[in-house]
Amino acid sequence: MTTYNLSYMRNRAYLAVSLTHFFVDVLNNSRTLLVAIVAVSIRLTNAEVGIALLLYNIGSALLQPVFGWMADRFGPRWLVVGGMGWMIGLYGVAAVAPDWPALVAITLAGLGSGAFHPTGAKVAGEVSTTARNQATAVFFTAGQLGLFVGPVLAGGLLDSYGRIGFLALPFLALLAFGSGLRWLSNDKAHHAAHAGHQHSPASASKETVTATVQPRQPIHWPTALPLTIIILSSSTIGIAAINFAPKLFTELGYAPAYVGWTAGLFMMGSAIGGIIGGALGDRIGRKLPILIGFVGSILPLIFYIPAADPWRFILLLLAGFFAGMPHSILVIMAQALMPGRRATASGLILGMMFFSGAIGSLVVGWLGDQIGLGPALQWTAVLPVVALVATLMLPGKEGR
């Protein structure tokens, strides 16, 4: 009988990177409220906001393959801990600095996110051989929960205390910084051994070695090319929604707490969808959850902008749910293309996701200046259609 292996949930290194992922993305998505407030204050156009997002993602995305290579070569500890510490420091500055220095600090903080993501994905992807899709999905869900919680908390703090209230978020992130220092090591065997007294160190060590020591193989281009199209076309969906929807609703006069919920609900749906998509990927294969995700996201993306409350919140939740289903599966597929270089592969795919999303957001910002930000966001519903066609091009064996 097939059962899920949940031993990864007792692995302290895995828990440390998952907790860090949560707080990295709490800061990443609460950033959207700060950017919206600063943009309105200094009267940035939508295109200029897109440029700011592009600069943020240059640090967050383009260097991820380099950070991934460093994690493969030297180990994950200081990239995880250092990335978290870098973000804590710069978001602390952003909370108290004037508008332009705050915008610079927010932009530079992307380097910390770039250092963490491929490194954390490497640790998560190697913790289990029997439930790799599920373990990776839970790791990414921790980040997506952070993307939900971040703007909701930030909205309440900004409403109650102004920008200085934002300091509470980097302060709370010190929990993740401490867990990384305590539980992460650059020794591969250490990650399994730190499952501690809760399960057998010998069995955990065997599992970790099996997951990490794999021969390098040539890249399978019939898979890599459509996978690249899927990533390039789909990554703008979530990034545009969580970055530009807050600006749209801020311009319409909604309070920061309302704006925080609009950004957060999309990511709450994405978190739930990521868990379900990862579990389905382990049970029924990869293609079908990806197809369901892209088909299901089209109508909610079109209608959440004009919808009245509470339908707007329901549609945002659904848009995030379906858009989030393919995420962890796409990362696993990229790692499978480079089995001996998981962190490098994770850096490449996550960097491609963030950077292509930033380029797409730049286009959405420019389009928003031409036709209005609301209609521009509705046009992102074209992207799942492109991704859907590319998914059908994947070789049949990728369904397993």
Per-residue pLDDT of the chain (400 residues; tens, 9 = 90+): 344 556 677 788 889 999 999 999 999 888 878 888 888 888 888 778 777 777 777 667 777 778 888 888 888 889 999 999 999 999 999 999 998 899 889 889 989 988 898 888 888 877 766 666 677 778 887 887 887 888 888 888 988 888 899 999 999 999 999 999 998 887 654 444 444 444 444 444 444 333 344 455 555 667 778 888 888 788 888 777 877 888 888 888 888 888 888 878 888 888 888 888 877 877 777 788 889 999 999 999 999 988 888 899 999 999 989 988 887 788 777 767 766 666 666 667 667 777 777 788 788 888 888 898 889 898 989 999 998 998 888 876 554 4
Kindly tell me the sign of the dihedral angle through the C-alpha atoms of 201, 207, 208, 210. positive
CB 358 within 8 A of CB 238: no
CATH architecture of 10-399: Up-down Bundle (1.20)
**Residue 102: HSE in the Cβ half-sphere, 13 Å Cα cutoff:** 22
Helix and strand tally (H, E) in the chain?
Answer: 19, 0
Q: Which residues, at least 6 apart from 6, have a Cβ–Cβ distance to it below 8 Å?
A: 131
- Three-state SS at 219: coil
CB 182 within 8 A of CB 16: yes
Query: pTM of whole model > 0.75?
Result: no
Nearest to 245 by CA among 28, 32, 27, 30: 32
Hey, how many other C-beta atoms are within 10 angstroms of the C-beta on 318?
21
Question: What distance in Å separates the CA atoms of residue 208 and residue 229, rounded to the nearest whole number?
Answer: 32
Nearest to 315 by CA among 265, 275, 271, 361: 265
